[in-house]
Amino acid sequence: MKVSWRIILLWTVPALVIGFFLWQGAFSPAAGELGQNTASSRMTYGRFLEYLDAGRVTSVDLYEGGQTAIVEAIDPQLDERIQRWRVDLPINAPELIAKLREADISFDTHPIRQDGAIWGLIGNLIFPILLIAGLFFLFRRSNNITGGPGQAMNFGKSRARFQMEAKTGVLFDDVAGIEEAKEELQEVVTFLKQPERFTAVGARIPKGVLLVGPPGTGKTLLAKAIAGEAGVPFFSISGSEFVEMFVGVGASRVRDLFKKAKENAPCLIFIDEIDAVGRQRGAGIGGGNDEREQTLNQLLTEMDGFEGNTGIIIIAATNRPDVLDSALLRPGRFDRQVMVDAPDLKGRIGILEVHARNKKLSTEVSIEAIARRSPGFTGADLANLLNEAAILTARRRKEAITMAEINDAVDRVVAGMEGTPLVDSKSKRLIAYHEIGHAIVGTLIKDHDPVQKVTLIPRGQAQGLTWFTPSEEQGLITRAQLKARITGALGGRAAEEEIFGDSEVTTGAGGDLQQVTGMARQMVTRFGMSDLGPLSLESQEGEVFLGAGLMTRAEYSEKVAARIDEQVRQIVEHCHDDARQIIRENRVVIDRLVDLLIEKETIDGKEFRQIVAEYTFVPEKEQYVPQL
């Protein structure tokens, strides 16, 4: 569409311009009137004077204020018949009139006809009007279609960017795994349904609730469920929609939104990603963004502007409550905060049950087993997981989803699409050693999560993968566990070095090293797990806004910075040595496992441990290993 409009535009302009000149010709003043009388031939002024002197001229009509004349004269070449000529007269020829009088020739003057002039004027104006109207129309059309820079033309005029759903059709039953949040919000439903119960006893109904939690945990769903349960309309807009190129657009959108909401009260307004507009004001280089500040101010004004009992409740969602402007969190605004976290095992079971309602699961599939297989998954991940499994089932032409599809879907959600395995080659061997390196180090260190499987089938970016079964509760992690993870992550590179030599190591360990460095650095700067002692030297990272790093002073001196680097290096070096030692000491079983992996492409954790146990002691791990 975009292209075709461009082409139309390109062609329209020249076409209109050509049209303009044609039109100009047709409408030039008095052309029509002269046209009726126009003699077919023209005569020069000199010839006319000659004819005049020779007494051939019989009559003269003057047009256009004496600039043109239609002359009737006897033509000597055409049997002395009377002919008509058109003569252009010089501007100053007053002596001509005297001459005509002298010669006693009848002459007449014709004034410029007024209506002709008006037509001419209209004719001249119509084109520019059409051109402007046409361009305007084209601009609007192309804006509507592309939606891109078109906003440039509509500034000041707020397009309604919010969505309105009269009935969301979502109920609390459709939301699972976030029971506390649901309980807290149950009250909001009552506010919307029976405000009199609160106002009767003089309670002020809260205006705003802030839902805080990572993406995909069901914040939007929860807000819809509140509206659905209360049976009120659901207005939603994303914070990023407020922030426009032009100052004032966001603010006018806020005004529009609240105006519409007031007309439809009781209702619920949902503002997604409120951090896009509600960031700390005056932050960032150059004093921040005027547009955002105006929008935020407008939002605050609107929130203060209506009473708690008008039946409007605003629910906002964010995953960065720390960056919000404190004015938003004051009483009377978003003074209630509800945490919406990633679900635990029980929560995952609940969410899976919700999404399994409309899916055909084979009887062998247990929801609990899927939930155990997916620690750390959010509600959106779980919904996606079941959907992927259903797609795979359909593709494999099965009647119902089996555990095989579930497992494949988990792998796919976690690590991306499966690729085609490499053909046997040196690099395949190297990848096999790298992965077995991760797996064996992970298996032989007591504090490491157990290996779930090792595979050479590429997925996403990775050429091979070693899967570990993560522990269920990802809450507190000990220093020993962190060091074990660092050592395990270095296992791949360590194996490359031990088997192929230092000069043969590859770029494949890049991702591992990034993780390793990140973990080691956090041990030193955030968790106080180094010789620097229990100091928090860095707050939780993450770009808050452009220029944050420039505006905030580092919390330590140059000298401490050098010591941090030294500590990080020590931790990594120590773990690297451990990993290399494990590889060296287990070379025999590693070679056997690599051959097996190249042959089978995948070794599962149980078999892996059994083989390793034939050669060396394998520590018991208490983490739950799903029996799938």
Catalytic residues: 435
Q: Residue 253 or 493: which CB sits closer to Zn ion?
A: 493
Which partner from the list ligand ADP, Zn ion, Mg ion, none does 405 bind, CB cut-off 5 to 8 Å by kind?
Answer: none
* Centroid of chain to Cα 224: 22
Q: What is the closest distance, in whole angstroms, from the C-beta atom of residue 394 to Zn ion in the complex? A: 34
In this structure, the strands spanning 163-165 and 234-238 are antiparallel
Give the whole-angstrom CA distance, residue 218 versus residue 471.
23
In angstroms, what is the C-alpha Rg of the chain?
A: 42
Q: Residue 57 or 490: which CB sits closer to Zn ion?
A: 490
Give the whole-angstrom CA distance, residue 267 versus residue 260.
10
Within 8 A by CB and 6+ apart from 509, the residues are 434, 492, 493, 496
Site for Mg ion in 220-259 (CB under 5 A): 220
Q: Residue 158 or 220: which CB sits closer to ligand ADP?
A: 220
Which partner from the list Zn ion, ligand ADP, Mg ion, none does 195 bind, CB cut-off 5 to 8 Å by kind?
Answer: none
Helix (H, G, I), strand (E, B) or coil at 319: coil
**How crowded is the C-beta side of 466, counted as CA atoms within 13 Å?**
28
Q: What is the closest distance, in whole angstroms, from the C-beta atom of residue 347 to ligand ADP in the complex? A: 7
Q: What is the closest distance, in whole angstroms, from the C-beta atom of residue 256 to ligand ADP in the complex? A: 23
Residues that bind ligand ADP (CB under 6 A): 175-178, 215-221, 317, 351, 354, 379-380, 383
* Beta strand spans in 99-154 (E): 106-109
Q: What is the closest distance, in whole angstroms, from the C-beta atom of residue 254 to ligand ADP in the complex? A: 21
Which partner from the list Mg ion, ligand ADP, Zn ion, none does 178 bind, CB cut-off 5 to 8 Å by kind?
Answer: ligand ADP
Which partner from the list ligand ADP, Mg ion, Zn ion, none does 492 bind, CB cut-off 5 to 8 Å by kind?
Answer: Zn ion
**Site track for Zn ion across 467-506, x = CB under 5 A:** -------------------------x--------------
Q: Residue 56 or 428: which CB sits closer to Zn ion?
A: 428
Q: Which long-range contacts link 615-621 to residues 24+ away (Cβ below 8 Å)?
A: 615/586, 615/588, 615/589, 616/444, 616/585, 616/586, 616/589, 618/443, 618/444, 619/444, 619/445, 619/446, 621/446, 621/448, 621/449, 621/450
The correct pick among 273, 293, 512, 578 for binding Zn ion (CB under 5 A) is 512
Helices (H), ranges, 150-289: 179-193, 195-199, 219-230, 239-242, 249-263
Residue nearest to ligand ADP (CB): 379
Residue 556 is classified by DSSP as: S
Give the whole-angstrom CA distance, residue 457 versus residue 472.
26
Length of the chain, in residues: 628
Give the whole-angstrom CA distance, residue 302 versus residue 305.
5
Q: Residue 389 or 444: which CB sits closer to ligand ADP?
A: 389
Site for Zn ion in 589-628 (CB under 5 A): none
Q: What is the closest distance, in whole angstroms, from the C-beta atom of residue 466 to Zn ion in the complex? A: 7
Q: Residue 220 or 298: which CB sits closer to Mg ion?
A: 220
Q: What is the closest distance, in whole angstroms, from the C-beta atom of residue 238 to ligand ADP in the complex? A: 10
Q: Residue 83 or 220: which CB sits closer to Mg ion?
A: 220
Which partner from the list ligand ADP, Zn ion, Mg ion, none does 567 bind, CB cut-off 5 to 8 Å by kind?
Answer: none
What would the two tokens of residue 178 be?
């976030």
Which partner from the list Mg ion, ligand ADP, Zn ion, none does 512 bind, CB cut-off 5 to 8 Å by kind?
Answer: Zn ion
Q: What is the closest distance, in whole angstroms, from the C-beta atom of residue 376 to ligand ADP in the complex? A: 14
Q: Which residues bind Mg ion (CB under 5 A)?
A: 220
Q: Which residues bind Zn ion (CB under 5 A)?
A: 492, 512
